[in-house]
A = this chain, B = another copy of it.
Amino acid sequence: MRIITIDREFGSGGREIGKRLSDALGIPVYDEQIIYEVANEQNIAPELVERISQNDISRVYPTTIGRTLTAPFFFDSTPIDVLVSQQEVIRKLASNGDCIIIGRSADVLMEDMNPFKIFVYADEKSKVKRSLERSDTDESEDEIRRKIKKIDKARAKNRRLLTDKPWGRILDYDICINTSNKEIKDLIPGLVAYINECYKN
């Protein structure tokens, strides 16, 4: 059983690495699918699930308690419920067989399945450039810069809440990859070889 988890800084290309590794290894990658399954289970909008996992929960929480009064679709489901459901969905998906899971502290959640844990990072310039290229809105560079900071801060805080490990501490990953000034596709063959060798034993 081969579970690969990818944790990543926003804009570092972690999601692309996940998709390309999925193609190269012939195993599924779970990313948005987790959102849809959680939304389905909790009977709420996928956008809300995404918002919860991209925002610092401790901030979403009080707001959404207020929101529940006017947003009935959220009535029976608190952000904590959503995160618990997310953990269940991840474990269920992983139990289907070899896979790659993006983010969501899956590396800690799946620890008993001995995942291969990747952390993807980059310098700010590269992350802004990559985010701008992929953005389908007309966000400015400054807005992107703020978004990167905000999302990464939320990821760090949510990881602290859901696990006993700080986000991005290198000891918690098997390999950490700097994508600054690199084409993601060039990194895949080496990464595949590295993962395969680690799994041989």
Q: Which residues of A contact B (CB under 8 A)?
A: 121, 123, 170-171, 173-178, 180, 182-183, 186-198, 200-201
Contact = CB atoms under 8 A, between A and B. Distances in A.
A173 B123 CA distance: 11
B171 A178 contact: yes
A2 to B, nearest CB: 15
A188 B197 CA distance: 9
A187 B197 contact: yes
A23 to B, nearest CB: 16
Contacts of A171: 121, 123, 178, 180
Contacts of A198: 182, 186-187, 190
B195 A190 contact: yes
A155 to B, nearest CB: 16
A91 to B, nearest CB: 24
A170 B121 contact: yes
Contact of A190 (B123, B170, B190): B190
A194 B201 contact: no
A157 to B, nearest CB: 20
Contact of A197 (B170, B174, B175, B186): B186
A7 to B, nearest CB: 13
Contacts of A176: 170, 175-176, 178
